[in-house]
Amino acid sequence: MEKMKLKLLYSDLRPELEIIEKELEQAVDSSSHLLNDASLHLLQAGGKRIRPVFVLLAGKFGNYNIDVMKQVAVPLELIHMASLVHDDVIDDSEIRRGQPTVKAQWNNNVAMYTGDFILARALEHITEIDMPSIHHILSKTMIEVCRGEIIQIEDKYKLDQNLRSYLRRIKRKTALLISSSCELGALVSGTDEKTAAHLRRFGYFIGMSFQIIDDILDFTASDEELGKPAGSDFMNGNITLPVLCARKDPAIYAVLKANLKQDLSDDARVEIVEMIRNSPAVGEAKMMSERYLHKALKELSYLPKSAANRTMRNIAFFIGKRKF
Amino acid sequence: MNEQQIHSKIRLMESDVKNAVRQRTLETCTGGPSIERTRLFFLLLPLFTGKPWSGEIEASAKTVSIVYAALHAHDQVKEVATTKKQQLTVLAGDFYSGIYYQMLANLNNFTLIQRLATAITKVSEQKTSFYETVIRSEEEIERSVQIIESDLLTTFYRYYGYEEYAQLAEVSLQYVRYSEELAYWEAGVHTQLLKTLYHSLQPAASIETWLMEKLDQLEEEMLELVNHHLLPYDLKNYLLHKITPHQHRAEQLTREG
């Protein structure tokens, strides 16, 4: 339902997104039946396609040509997909978007090779573009995203980490790829540098807001809505903003500390989720998400008023209010 | 180049590659990248034989080595990957892939990025083929091994016009792989390749015999190719004794050659 609502916001892009969808299907086509099945399984599980949407919308601020835009939009979604397959191995996740993960449907090795295959396909596509700046930005982003994930593993089960560590982590983990989607969309469509910079910053702020909301929803949404058990982040030792806010209460801190361990029981998980849900932490985290949202909107205010600008604004509002 | 110089150059290259992908946490928890000297030898073979070489070519050779390290890291991921070391092994492969892309992007060599990416898709397809439920022929399995072991390297050769070494590299790298598989078999470790072979061989055939015969055949081919290329004595010696050390027969032929 929420995904439907989001898709309605960018319904103007439907014909272009259909092209992107077909290109994605072609991109993961393989002579290996197993790889084909695994890649299509992943593709058909759906997704918001938010990265291609931002590429296309950013392109509307320049000389928009779908044949050029898709050369960036498709690889960015592929890079995101590849990282999801590998993340599911890291998190030992059985379910994503209500569907069995590649690692659950097949095994870890198949998941690793599927991710490698999809990432390589992304690079095959993006290198059709002969613009050094595109490759410098994207390669740097890919490395930073990995660094973010490495830090996330280092910080696992560390309840006493500071807010700055969390923000730096989500910047690398999520915001950078959305920021790059906007920037690359702008650059490939030939916008001026100033416009590209505003779009890059918009993507960064919206990415931060998006991830904070994601982290809040991990506690506030239901298992059905999430397509996985609520509190999965905590269960996996990932300390997110709601936990960082909630730990200020000594009583909650003690409970969190005692339960921050591998093999957390399901009853304990439910108890933690309830405790965070009913604490002021959710409200505090929402406020921080809104601060980033306002910054994102501010960036849009510097750009020419247009349909694309309006759509970006509506997506930003939606992200701030989404339920799951 | 004498043996010592060849050895030093390989060691230097290994150290450069390790420095290029150095990341504190990955190094501490996963031991850093696996840089196989066999592959470094073949990447540097054109330099050793006096072919045109440049800083750009050497940087590209390093990136090929990084791609191998990335794919190798992902080969090490086990079915239960919940330990910190395993989780970081997953990320190590992705991190090294990012470095390979960045290094070639910095050289503005987008064509090589694309060709290596194509080679990675082929390697991934072949690695996945060992998990298919269909029974594959011996020839198909051999072809898979050849692609997995040498497609990235031969892509590099083709790009820089060193195709003449492709066959020697293909045969030698298969030789090394089957030697490792034989060692695994003898140690009672059943790799995915051994399992695939087990299902594909005729019921009466033994994996051990098949591997030994394959090694004999590859060794013959390798010696023929080494002699065909008229490699300098030190280089030939290095290849046969340090890179693909095997039976004493190889040693005899080297001296004769």
pLDDT at B230: 79
| Confidence at B249, pLDDT banded by 50, 70, 90 | very low
- pLDDT exceeds 70 at position B131: yes
Task: Give A115's contacts in chain B (Cβ within 8 Å).
Answer: 74, 94
**What does the pLDDT look like over A173-225, one tens digit per residue?**
899 999 999 999 999 999 999 999 999 999 999 999 999 999 999 999 888 88
Q: Are A194 and A275 in contact (CB under 8 A)?
A: no
- Reduced to 3 states (helix: H, G, I; strand: E, B; else coil), residue B158 is helix
pLDDT at A324: 58
**By percentage, how much of chain A surpasses pLDDT 70?**
98
Q: What ipTM, to 2 d.p.?
A: 0.93
Cα–Cα distance for residue pair A140/A122, rounded to 1 Å: 15
- pLDDT exceeds 60 at position B116: yes
- pLDDT exceeds 60 at position B43: yes
| Confidence at B25, pLDDT banded by 50, 70, 90 | very high
Q: Does A109 touch chain B (CB under 8 A)?
A: yes
Cα–Cα distance for residue pair B2/A300, rounded to 1 Å: 64
Q: Does B132 touch chain A (CB under 8 A)?
A: yes
Q: Does B90 touch chain A (CB under 8 A)?
A: yes
Give the mean model confidence (pLDDT) for residues A153-163.
93
Q: Does B176 touch chain A (CB under 8 A)?
A: no
At the second CATH level, the architecture of B3-256 is Orthogonal Bundle (1.10)
Q: Does B33 touch chain A (CB under 8 A)?
A: no
- Which of A109, A116, A143 is facing B120, going by the closest CB pair? A116
Q: What is A2-321's CATH number?
A: 1.10.600.10
Query: Among all chains, which residue has been given the structure tokens 């060992």?
Result: B130
| A11-20 contacts, C-beta under 8 A, 24 or more apart | A12/A307, A12/A311, A13/A53, A13/A56, A13/A57, A13/A311, A16/A56, A16/A66, A16/A69, A16/A70, A17/A49, A17/A52, A17/A53, A17/A56, A19/A66, A19/A70, A20/A49, A20/A52, A20/A56, A20/A70, A20/A73, A20/A74, A20/A77
Burial A135-161 (b: 16+ CB within 10 A, else e): bebbbbbbbbbbbbbbbbbbbbeeeeb
Q: Is B84's CB within 8 Å of A153's CB?
A: yes
Q: Is A107's CB within 8 Å of B131's CB?
A: yes
pLDDT at A176: 96
CB atoms closer than 10 angstroms to residue A209: 26
Q: Does A136 touch chain B (CB under 8 A)?
A: yes
Cα–Cα distance for residue pair B177/B214, rounded to 1 Å: 11
What average pLDDT is seen over chain A?
93
Cα–Cα distance for residue pair B47/B43, rounded to 1 Å: 8
Crossing angle of the two packed helices A2-9 and A307-321, in degrees rounded to 10: 160
**What does the pLDDT look like over B7-22, one tens digit per residue?**
999 999 999 999 999 9
Q: Are A74 and A20 in contact (CB under 8 A)?
A: yes
Q: Does B26 touch chain A (CB under 8 A)?
A: yes
Cα–Cα distance for residue pair B124/B184, rounded to 1 Å: 22
**What does the pLDDT look like over B176-223, one tens digit per residue?**
999 999 999 999 999 999 999 988 887 767 899 999 999 999 999 999
Q: Radius of gyration over alpha carbons of chain B, in Å?
A: 19
**What does the pLDDT look like over B60-91, one tens digit per residue?**
999 999 999 999 999 999 988 889 999 999 99
- Which of B94, B102, B129 is facing A139, going by the closest CB pair? B102
Q: Is B121's CB within 8 Å of A112's CB?
A: no
**What does the pLDDT look like over B44-65, one tens digit per residue?**
999 999 999 999 999 999 999 9
What average pLDDT is seen over chain B?
91
Q: Does A163 touch chain B (CB under 8 A)?
A: no
**What does the pLDDT look like over A264-306, one tens digit per residue?**
888 999 999 999 999 999 999 999 999 999 999 999 999 999 9
With CA atoms as reference, the chain B residue closest to A137 would be: B102
Q: Does A120 touch chain B (CB under 8 A)?
A: yes
Q: Can you give the residue ranges of every domain in chain B?
A: 3-256
Q: Are B81 and B87 in contact (CB under 8 A)?
A: yes
Q: Does A261 touch chain B (CB under 8 A)?
A: no
pLDDT at A170: 95
Task: Give B191's contacts in chain A (Cβ within 8 Å).
Answer: none
- The residue among A307, A234, A299 whose CA lies nearest residue A271 is A234
* Beta carbons within 8 Å of A177's beta carbon, 6+ residues apart: A51, A76, A79, A80, A141, A145, A207
Q: Are A152 and A90 in contact (CB under 8 A)?
A: no
Quote the tokens at residue A232: 């999965």
**What does the pLDDT look like over A26-35, one tens digit per residue?**
999 999 999 9
| Confidence at A3, pLDDT banded by 50, 70, 90 | low
Q: How many helices (H) and strands (E) does chain B have?
A: 12, 0
- Which of B23, B82, B118 is facing A124, going by the closest CB pair? B118
Chain B contacts in chain A segment 60-99 (CB below 8 A):
83, 86, 89-90, 92
Cα–Cα distance for residue pair A27/B55, rounded to 1 Å: 34
Burial B171-209 (b: 16+ CB within 10 A, else e): bbbbbbbbbebbeebeeeeeeebbebbeebeeeeeebee
Q: Is B91's CB within 8 Å of A90's CB?
A: yes
Q: Does B120 touch chain A (CB under 8 A)?
A: yes
* Beta carbons within 8 Å of B216's beta carbon, 6+ residues apart: none
Question: Is A304 exposed, middle or buried (CB count within 10 Å of its CB: 0-12, 13-18, 19+)?
Answer: exposed
Quote the tokens at residue A156: 């696992």
A65 phi, psi to nearest 5 deg: -140, 115
Q: What single-letter amino acid sits at A9?
A: L
Give the mean model confidence (pLDDT) for residues A5-10.
79
Q: Bridge-partner residues for A96, per DSSP?
A: A99
Out of A10-14, A45-49, A104-108, B192-196, which region has the weakest mean confidence (pLDDT)?
A45-49
Cα–Cα distance for residue pair A100/B168, rounded to 1 Å: 44
- The residue among B229, B238, B254 whose CA lies nearest residue B51 is B229
Cα–Cα distance for residue pair B92/B79, rounded to 1 Å: 17
- Reduced to 3 states (helix: H, G, I; strand: E, B; else coil), residue A96 is strand
Q: Does B2 touch chain A (CB under 8 A)?
A: no
- Which of A89, A120, A146 is facing B98, going by the closest CB pair? A146
**What does the pLDDT look like over A231-271, one tens digit per residue?**
989 998 999 999 999 999 999 999 999 999 888 888 999 99
How far is A233 from chain B, CA to nearest CA, in Å? 14
How far is A251 from chain B, CA to nearest CA, in Å? 30
- pLDDT exceeds 60 at position A116: yes
Answer with the residue of higher pLDDT: A322 or B125. B125
Give the mean model confidence (pLDDT) for residues A140-164.
94
| Confidence at B252, pLDDT banded by 50, 70, 90 | very low
- pLDDT exceeds 70 at position A150: yes
**By percentage, how much of chain B surpasses pLDDT 90?**
79
Distances (CA, A) of B92 to A107, A147, B118: 19, 10, 21
Quote the tokens at residue A211: 């991830």
Give the mean model confidence (pLDDT) for residues B90-112.
97
A100 phi, psi to nearest 5 deg: -60, 140
The 8-class DSSP code of residue A11 comes to G
Q: Does B253 touch chain A (CB under 8 A)?
A: no
Q: Is B125's CB within 8 Å of A30's CB?
A: yes
pLDDT at B255: 43
Question: Is A62 exposed, middle or buried (CB count within 10 Å of its CB: 0-12, 13-18, 19+)?
Answer: buried
Q: Is A127's CB within 8 Å of B113's CB?
A: yes
Task: Give B127's contacts in chain A (Cβ within 8 Å).
Answer: 109, 113
Quote the tokens at residue B111: 């064509």
Q: Is B125's CB within 8 Å of A31's CB?
A: yes
How far is B77 from chain A, CA to nearest CA, in Å? 7
